[in-house]
Every structure is written in C-alpha cells, then in structure tokens.
Amino acid sequence: MAVITYRQALNETLRSELLRDPDVFLMGEEIGIFEGSYKITAGLLKEFGPERVRDTPIAEEGFVGAAIGAAMLGLRPVVEIMTINFSIVALDQIVNHAAKIHTMFGGQSKVPMVIRTPGGGGQQLAATHSQNIEVWYAHVPGLKVVVPSTPADAKGLLAASIRDDDPVMFIEHLALYNTKGEVPEGDYVIPIGKAAVTKEGTDITIVSYSRMAAVALDVAKRLEEDEGVSAEVVDLRSLRPLDRETILASVRKTSKAVILEEDWLSYGVGAEIAATIQEGAFDYLDAPVRRVAAAEIPLPYSKPLELAALPDATALVKVIHETLDATRFRS
C-alpha cells in the first residue's frame, strides 16, 4: 500500500474513474487551467481535455443545475464547489431538484452525480468561509452525504460515490488535504453507509466523522497509552445513510458515548447520534451521552479566537474524563 495524501487520493481516484467510465466528467470553478483551488484536479485537464474537465463561470446554481440535467440524461458529472459555503448558493438545485427528481417523477430518471466540496474551519477564512453545514444536507432524504476522514476512505468513498446512482454530497475537509495515510492500490470501493471502527475499545465510544474522526483517533490512542482507557472510535464516514447499527453495537459494549463534531452543537450531527443511541441502546447507557462541538458563534477570523471556538483534543479529553468519572470508572 502506498502512503499518499488525502489530496493525492482524491486526484488519483478522479483520474481512474475518468479512465474507467467515459460518462464521468468534471465541472467546477477553476478546476481546469488553474487545476483547482486546492489542486485536487491537477493534471486532469491536460490528460482528459476540456470536454471532460470543464471550467465553469462563478455561478454555482447554474453549473449544479447543468450537472443535474447531464446526470438525468445519463452522464455522471462530478462537480467541484470550491467550498461548502458556496453550495448555499446552489441550495435550491441540490435540495429541491437533485434530491427529489427521482421520486417526484416516479423513478423515470435517476440523478447520478457527485458534488465534491470541502468544509471545515481552522484556516483563518473567517465566518462565511469556514462552516460545517454538512448536516443541512444530511437532513434531506434523497441525498447521500459522505464525509471521509482518511486518504483511504477518500479513495474508496469517492469511487463509490461516482458509481452511485443517487446524488452524493462528497464533503472533504480543508485541513485534511495534506494528511497522509496508507491507501490500497487498484480498484478500491467502500460501500456508502458503513461506518468504520477505527480503533476498538471497551470503556467508552467516541463517535465522529471527517477531520474530527482523526482527532478522536489520536485522542483514543493517547488515552490508551497514558491512562489505560480503552476507547472505541466510530468514524461515521457517511451521514446519510447513517450506520446506526455500528454506533449502537459499540455503545452496547462500552455503555458510554461521547460525540466529537466540528459543526455547531444545536441541531447538529451529534444530536442525531445521541438520539440514535438513546433510542437503540437506552438500557445500555451508564452515563449521559455527551457532545463536543463548535462554539455557537460565527467563526472568528482571529487565530486565537478561531482556535478557541473550534472543538479540539483537549475539549474531547475533558468530556471523556467527565463521562468516565460519572460512572466511577477511574475511582
């Protein structure tokens, strides 16, 4: 297995899917000549030409709508929206059209498209360019929402998303692009809707996704070494469909759960996970389910303030300790 970055994994997967299926094509702002704002599409225009790697105007609603039309007519567009913040401009196309066409028209047409877009804060891009609004899409039936946290998942889930017949929001993370990891060679597809237990444990469950899943895994490893706490980490990988069974199986084993999410607390992904746990594993809980999330403010530009507002390992460790103490685990 090669060790490559998340960015390389995405780039290579786009390339191999373009090679594998002639119906696959890319579109988005600055993805061709400029090779993408985050260089995910580097080299692809040169290799596949402007027919299959299309630069678009700065008009998200327009090019997302165009991609929906192309998908309905049998192509498999992979759209890049520069960041998830700009997807709001295309919200009507995504929510009212991409998500609903298949059912509203009696199954006459599928919409096999992928919208790739990075979210996340921590880059000093200020309030309007640093959001984690994946839950907006996860709320909508008819969409799939994929949130990979590792280069391997980026590869396997992007391949699965492109080959899926439903519209998929493929949500990357700005802070993950340079992270490295082992990635299987060759054709590698991860089924959408299956969470990963990235570390097994018996004492407490940490549920997370995207960049925070990587933070959670680091914390869990450290707790094991430093304190002998055996934490299990569930990386959701997909918010819709949500792999409730993997979450529940873990909580039934550990009887305690903490959710680490980079979005805002209220109505966030963690609220859905907590509800899932109390509905499906109520009798297994020995402590309240806790959530660690972002401060409920527009994210500040100032670096110290931005750091203070975002959830991190320290905040997670604190809540894990509180949860363990609530069950007398450490006494």
- Contact positions vs another protein (CB under 8 A): 99, 102-103, 107, 110, 141-142, 144, 165-166, 193, 240-241, 243-245, 248, 255, 276, 279-287, 326-329, 331
Are 208 and 235 a contacting pair, CB within 8 Å?
yes
Looking at the Cβ atoms of 56 and 246, the one nearer to another protein is 246
SS3 of residue 51 by DSSP? coil
Please provide the size of the chain in residues: 331
Are 108 and 171 a contacting pair, CB within 8 Å?
no
Q: How far is the CB of 287 from another protein (least distance, A)?
A: 6
Are 267 and 213 a contacting pair, CB within 8 Å?
no
Looking at the Cβ atoms of 183 and 273, the one nearer to another protein is 273
Q: How far is the CB of 139 from another protein (least distance, A)?
A: 12
Question: How does strand 204-208 pair with strand 114-119?
Answer: unpaired
Q: How far apart are CA 134 and CA 127, in angstroms?
A: 16
Looking at the Cβ atoms of 52 and 256, the one nearer to another protein is 256
**Sign (positive or negative) of CA dihedral 173, 190, 161, 234:** negative
CA 172 to each of CA 64, 209, 232, 239: distance values in angstroms, whole numbers, following the listed order = 18, 11, 23, 13
Q: How far is the CB of 108 from another protein (least distance, A)?
A: 12
> Catalytic site residue 129?
yes
Structure tokens at 20: 């594998």
Of 12, 17, 29, 60, the catalytic one is 60
Are 25 and 168 a contacting pair, CB within 8 Å?
no
**Diameter of the chain measured on Cα atoms:** 65
Q: How far is the CB of 244 from another protein (least distance, A)?
A: 4
Q: How far apart are CA 239 and CA 278, in angstroms?
A: 18
Looking at the Cβ atoms of 226 and 328, the one nearer to another protein is 328
Looking at the Cβ atoms of 99 and 158, the one nearer to another protein is 99
Q: How far is the CB of 142 from another protein (least distance, A)?
A: 5
The DSSP letter of residue 114 is E
Q: How far is the CB of 10 from another protein (least distance, A)?
A: 23
Looking at the Cβ atoms of 179 and 327, the one nearer to another protein is 327
Looking at the Cβ atoms of 217 and 229, the one nearer to another protein is 229
Of 129, 139, 224, 321, the catalytic one is 129
Sorted by sequence, the CB contacts under 8 Å of residue 161 that are 6+ apart come out as 114, 144, 146, 168, 170, 192
Number of CB atoms found within 10 A of residue 200's CB: 12
Task: Report which residue type is found at 124.
Answer: Q
Q: How far is the CB of 167 from another protein (least distance, A)?
A: 8
The DSSP letter of residue 93 is I
Q: Which residues form the catalytic set?
A: 60, 129
